[in-house]
Amino acid sequence: MARFEDKHPELIARLTQAAHVAVFTGAGVSAESGIPTFRDEEGLWQKYEPQELATMEAFLNQPEVVQAWYKHRRAIIHEKKPNPAHHALAQLEPFFQEFAVITQNVDNLHQEAGSKNVIELHGSILRNYCVDCKQEAAEQTLNQMAEGQPVQCPKCKGLIRPDVVWFGESLPQGAFEKASQIVCQADVLLSIGTSAVVFPAAQLPITAKEHGAYLAEINIERSDLSPFVDETILGKAGEILPDLTAAVSKRISATNN
């Protein structure tokens, strides 16, 4: 079985020389944890139209349905664990002067796996707040929701929503600016497990490349980003990333001795 570094010499050479590495992740990095992706055949969106549920308008029209959908997704996430892809990325971090995980995911699994520098472009499903008084709402308040009844803020009776970015909503100010700065300085950007269809997030890997980064994609199939990348590695993130991290660790330890 050819070694990772023999199959991807350019990527390993670039990573070995890199000071700044950025990783851009999507739902595919959590797929092997058992969390459905958005656009694969069994993806979450297949059952619902994105516009139907992940928008403020849908929420105001049918808050109890949107709250129930997020409660269902939180329950799935609480049962799942980080997979080898998340762990391999957390193990990569110490090898570089700067290593940032810029994620579109809202499942907190990168942080659970030990990644320190994580930017959540689309927020987190584990945080909820009242749309009127902005008070953070405890998850159990939401879990007590009665069938068909929207959950209201205990303080002001406002509706409670997840702290995620819905379609038509702008990304958290600081997060997108910080992610943009990071990708402009990246020597290497790894795009992992994303269809790269959602903007402005999907612009980030392209911005990295425009600023001189070596752009590699790890995905089980080609994505909208594929035409722009220097290299596409087809396969499962949970199988490829441990090999990548092992190859980088071996090469960097060898150069340090």
Nearer to Zn ion, 58 or 153 (CB): 153
Nearer to ligand BV8, 219 or 245 (CB): 219
Identify what 182 binds: Zn ion, ligand BV8, none; CB under 5 to 8 Å per kind.
Answer: none
Identify what 158 binds: ligand BV8, Zn ion, none; CB under 5 to 8 Å per kind.
Answer: Zn ion
Residue 83 Cβ vs ligand BV8, minimum distance, rounded to whole Å: 8
Q: Between 115 and 154, how does the x/- string for binding to ligand BV8 read (CB under 6 A)?
A: -------x--------------------------------
Closest CA relative to residue 172, chosen from 133, 120, 132:
120
Instruction: Classify residue 138 as exposed, middle or buried by CB count within 10 Å of its CB (0-12, 13-18, 19+).
Output: exposed
Residue 124, φ and ψ in degrees, nearest 5: -140, 135
Candidates 30-38, 56-64, 74-82, 152-160 — which segment interacts with ligand BV8 by CB under 6 A?
Answer: 30-38
Residue 225 contacts residue 28 (beta carbons within 8 Å): no
Identify what 217 binds: Zn ion, ligand BV8, none; CB under 5 to 8 Å per kind.
Answer: none
Give me the catalytic one of 20, 72, 122, 211: 122
Note if 110 is an active site residue.
no
Nearer to ligand BV8, 56 or 184 (CB): 56
Residue entry with tokens 């953070």: 136
Closest CA relative to residue 223, chosen from 210, 213, 237, 212:
237
Residue 104 interacts with ligand BV8 (CB under 6 A): yes or no: yes
Candidates 126-134, 136-144, 182-190, 230-238 — which segment interacts with ligand BV8 by CB under 6 A?
Answer: 230-238
Largest separation between any pair of C-alpha atoms in the chain: 63
Residue 220 interacts with ligand BV8 (CB under 6 A): yes or no: yes
Looking at beta carbons, which residue is closest to ligand BV8?
Answer: 28
Residue 158 interacts with Zn ion (CB under 5 A): yes or no: yes
Q: How far apart are CA 119 and CA 196, in angstroms?
A: 17
**Which residues neighbour 9 within 8 Å (Cβ) at sequence distance 6 or greater?**
none
Residue type, 224: D
DSSP lists the bridge partners of residue 164 as 123
To which H or E segment does residue 166 belong?
Answer: none
Q: How far apart are CA 26 and CA 11, in angstroms?
A: 20
State both tokens at 18. 């890199």
Residue 194 interacts with ligand BV8 (CB under 6 A): yes or no: yes
Q: Binder to ligand BV8 among 22, 92, 164, 229 (CB under 6 A)?
A: 164
* CA 180 to chain CA mean position, Å: 15
Provide Rg for the chain, Cα atoms: 19
Identify what 170 binds: ligand BV8, Zn ion, none; CB under 5 to 8 Å per kind.
Answer: ligand BV8
Which residues are part of the catalytic machinery? 122
Binding site for ligand BV8 (CB under 6 A): 26-28, 31-32, 37-40, 43, 54, 104-106, 122, 164-170, 193-195, 197-199, 219-221, 223, 236-238
